[in-house]
Amino acid sequence: MAEVETVTGPVPAEQLGLTLVHEHVRFRDEAVAEQWPHLYDRDAELAAAVEAVNAAKAHGVRTICDPTAMFGGRDVRFMREVSERTGVQIIACTGIYTYDHLPMFFRTRDVDAIAELFVRDITEGIQGTDIKAAFIKCAADEPGVNENVEKIHRAAARASRATGVPIMAHTRPASNTGPRQLEIFLEEGVAPEKVQLAHTGDSDDLDYIVPLLEQGVYVGLDRYGLEMFLPLERRNETLLALVERGYVDRLLVSQDFCATIDWFPSEAVEQLVAGGAVSPDWSMVLVFEKVLPALRERGLSADDERRIFVDNPRRWLTGERLS
């Protein structure tokens, strides 16, 4: 029986249950937080995280994958506290979330040296704890798949091959990054079913999405509520079209919600919400309160739902093949 590591220890894969595959219990710049800690209120962050996760739990969520990696302020003790306070299983990752910049530390070391650090997080534990990573995160965005990004992707691929854990790659369809990201993983010998191309659902261009799916990967329709990338209705249209075409076993649905985020001054965040750039509905429960009711009305079956929220996350995490 396959087991999956969570921040409170390994669990049998069949106990993962209803899973949100992409949510952040906290997202912040770890360098700023380390240098100017007075800017951050840990108690308030913890309260916000517990509130968001409890709201998801009320909809039956048993597990959350939190892809907060290096540069997103990964803190597995914080995650464990959220998990213990809510009873929801949280799955942590290793990896580096960068669109371009790499510290000198990594620029002067080779791919295998970086992969070794990822492997350590997976096999021994993270940040001096015995909490193990169950997947690997990397990213490409507007600057494209540049040299530093490629290096991290190759390190992620090699760590995945060494340990068997899957990869979640942040993609930017508007910059056509997905195909090249996948190509690197395949060049490194990673099986496509170990790859999740996150944020593919920021596009509703089936000519972009279907060729990726045809290569056997999972795609994340995982930013419900981030209206500036794609409005909710168009996300739903895309999901239904992909189910219709027979790809339900490769879809992962989530919100990429951040219970707290320090990327913008708080006034700016409020303006974004009020201006509709970010949906005021963005939350850890939007898919249950607004998305699924609409999709059910349009014919999404209970069986499809179970595949998207239970079977697919489990199969991606364990590498279980489609029978």
For Zn ion, the binding residues (CB under 5 A) are 256
How far apart (Å, rounded) are the C-alpha atoms in residues 248 and 260? 31
Cα separation, 42 vs 250, whole angstroms: 37
Residue with CB nearest Zn ion? 256
| CA-to-CA dists, residue 306 to 84, 284, 302, angstroms | 26, 18, 6
Q: Which is nearer to Zn ion, 256 or 304 (CB)?
A: 256
Query: Between 53 and 243, whose beta carbon lies closer to Zn ion?
Result: 53
Residue number with CB closer to Zn ion (97 or 309): 97
Write down the least CB distance from residue 54 to Zn ion, Å: 20
Nearer to Zn ion, 64 or 242 (CB): 64
Taking the complex as a whole, how short is the minimal distance between the CB of residue 223 and Zn ion, in angstroms?
A: 8
Output the CA torsion sign for 3, 162, 152, 184. negative
Q: Hey, how many other C-beta atoms are within 10 angstroms of the C-beta on 310?
A: 17
User: 314 to each of 60, 93, 104, 231, 320, how far by Cα in Å?
Assistant: 16, 15, 37, 28, 8
**Least distance (Å) between residue 52 CB and Zn ion:** 14
Instruction: Report the nearest approach of Zn ion to the CB of residue 244 (Å).
Output: 27
Q: Which is nearer to Zn ion, 202 or 204 (CB)?
A: 202
Closest by Cα among 244, 252, 194, 247 to 223: 252
Token representation of residue 63? 């597990």
If the CB atoms of residues 198 and 300 are measured against Zn ion, the closer one turns out to be 198
* DSSP single-letter state for residue 193: G
Give the nearest distance from C-beta 170 to Zn ion in angstroms.
Answer: 7
Q: Which is nearer to Zn ion, 15 or 175 (CB)?
A: 175
Min dist CB 124 to Zn ion, Å, is: 25
- Give the helix/strand (H/E) hosting 117: helix 111-123
Burial of 104 (0-12, 13-18, 19+ CB in 10 A): exposed
Structure tokens at 132: 């193990």
Q: Which of 282, 288, 213 is closest to 247 using CA atoms? A: 213
- At its nearest, how many Å lie between Zn ion and the CB of residue 171? 11
| Pairing relationship of beta strands 19-20 and 218-221 according to DSSP bridges | unpaired
